[in-house]
Structure 1
Amino acid sequence: MESALEEIEFLALSPNRVEALRHLTEAPRTRRELVELTGASQPTLGRILHDFEERAWIEREDGAYRATVTGTLVSRGFSELVEIFNTDLELRPIVRWLPADAITFDLEHLTAATITKPSRVRPNAPVKRVLNLLRTATEVRVVSYAFNEQSLEVISERTASGDQQFEGVFPAAAIDALADDSQLRDQLRDLLTADGATVRIADGSIPVAATIADSVVHLFLRDDNGILQASVDVDEPEVHAWAENLFSQYWDDATPLTIDQL
């Protein structure tokens, strides 16, 4: 009796088998159609169809082949397995920097995420990525351990012009860092006077840096030494719901920042 792992290996070792079974789950196909769709030779396809019939994954009907219920189940399950490994390959370079203690959504929701890493020619690439999101978003929420100068400038300009609604919650240290610089302090004051802009100070530290720009969630990823290593952003409902909940947790416990405090 074949084991499940042997059956997985049977499919995985032949892209033609994977493609043929997938096409047969979509609609009945003739042998000629399958040759054209997969690029497999007639003899190869003949062996594939024979193997599939032995496993009761397909059946013949009116001169064509179609997937059975179990064939459809196998094809769908194999596709899901491939997606899992694709996600693993995508996230492998950054997984050690993901805020594991804070993340409660399934990592499969990051399959379509954009990963941005600094390089020699673009050392500030992760920051530029979030700035691009901020420049077009109409509703922005930020919960972060820091409030960088570039983000403050973009948010100040867009809220002042009425193009953006902003809510941010930061630890006191992040606000103090801005207030220590006279120019940045003035920008922060301008932000606080803008309609639709509110900043709160968290009671304690914030271990994450999450930006919700409309439907997109952006995360800065840093190592144990606090050095920015990458960013990841994704437009996915499950991740968005997680980020909104995370933001609310800190926002509800934070206190409003006023101009008098600067």
Structure 2
Amino acid sequence: MDALAEVEFLARSKNRVALLRLLATGRYDRGELATEVDVSQATLGRILEDFEERSWIRHEGDGYVATATGRLVATGIGELLDTLAAEQTLRGVVRYLPTHAMDFDLRRLADAAITTPSRSRPSAPLQTALDLADTATDLRAFSHTFNEQSLATVHDRVTSGEQTFAGVFSRQAYTALADDEEVWQRTLALIDAPNAELRVREEGIPLAVTLSDDRVNLLLRDEEGLLQAALETTDAAVLAWAGETFDHYWRTATEVDRETASRLETTGQSPRE
């Protein structure tokens, strides 16, 4: 049988997939297999017979274990399932993903929470970032924008001593903040706060990410800059990527102090000039 036929053979029964993946982890007897996968002995017997015909499993003592090729197939079908799970999660927002800047396996987003706007909750994606900012004790951010609501939440948490904050933003983000005097004064207060540090990156930042010790939030915008979705995950690999990416932008950015802020506000001059 060709490879597609074997994929079809496995795909027709979730019990086949579950049993093969289980047997790839070690030896199990028939009773343990029936309990773990919740199948009848008759169904179990047919599946084991099919697996033995394909040399995917072998007897070992009074139990069964996957062969080398059985483990290979189990790994392959597991990776395919992970791929399809991630694709289903991301299908509705893939057009907004800045994948050129997301240096990790997209399958790590299979369990991510996706929040999109609705008629009753048009600001739902932004609220996920605000919720993270409102609960984290140690918050980092890198973004091409820093909106008024996020700034207000971080400002209140930082100035009350409940949060430490490190943020690196594009120059355009600071220019936008300076357009409103009240917002700019709040920005200056954040710059002055001892437990906050802001930097500006001249080369720009193609992402809008906030992260704490256990969560990453990514805001997704369309080509016109309109917020279309938020993606949130606790996956360890994505957390590591976000931390490393923050460190890169931080190293290649300039500290924003009062003097730098004044130049950004009044002239749009590069802080390196």
- Is 1:29 the equivalent of 2:29? yes
After TM superposition, list the pairs within 5 Å mapping 1:47-66 onto structure 2. Answer: 47-61=46-60, 63-66=62-65
Unpaired runs of 5+ in structure 1?
A: none
What's the % identity of the aligned pairs?
45
| Partner SS, residue 101 of structure 1 | helix
Partner of 1:181: 180
Q: Which moved more, 1:162-171 or 1:40-49?
A: 40-49
The residue that corresponds to 2:256 in the other structure is 257
Letter in 1 for 2:253: A
Q: Please, what TM-score do these two structures have when normalized by structure 2?
A: 0.85
CA-to-partner distance for each residue in 1:125-183, whole Å, 9 max, x for gaps? 11110111111212222111111111111111121122222121222332222222222
Match of 1:111 in 2: 110
SS in 2 for 1:75: helix
- Supply the distance in 1 between the matched residues of 2:153 and 2:245 (Cα, whole angstroms): 23
1:41 to partner: Cα distance: 4.8
CA 1:103–1:55 in structure 2 vs 1: closer, same or farther (change >3 Å)? same
What amino acid sits opposite 2:227 in the alignment? L
Alignment pair present for 1:155 and 2:150: no
- What residue ranges of structure 2 are gaps of 5+ in the alignment? 266-273
Question: Shift in Å at residue 37 of structure 1?
Answer: 4.8
CA offset at residue 75 of structure 1?
2.3
Structure 1 residue 82: deviation in Å?
Answer: 0.9
| CA deviation vs aligned residue, 1:3-52 (integer Å, no higher than 9, x gap) | 2222222111122322333444454222x554555454554433322211
Does the aligned pair in 1 maintain the 2:89–2:111 contact within 8 Å? no
The residue aligned with 1:209 is 208
Distance 2:237 2:42 in 1: 46
More divergent stretch after superposition (139-148 vs 64-73): 64-73
Which segment is superposed worse, 39-48 or 148-157? 39-48
Structure 1 residue 64 displacement after superposition: 4.0
Return the alpha-carbon distance in structure 2 between the equivalents of residues 171 and 23 of structure 1. Answer: 49
- CA positional deviation for 1:70: 3.0
Tell me whether 219-228 or 230-239 shows the greater mean CA deviation.
Answer: 230-239
**Partner letter of residue 237 of structure 1?**
A
Distance 1:71 1:249, change over 3 A: closer
The corresponding residue for 2:237 is 238
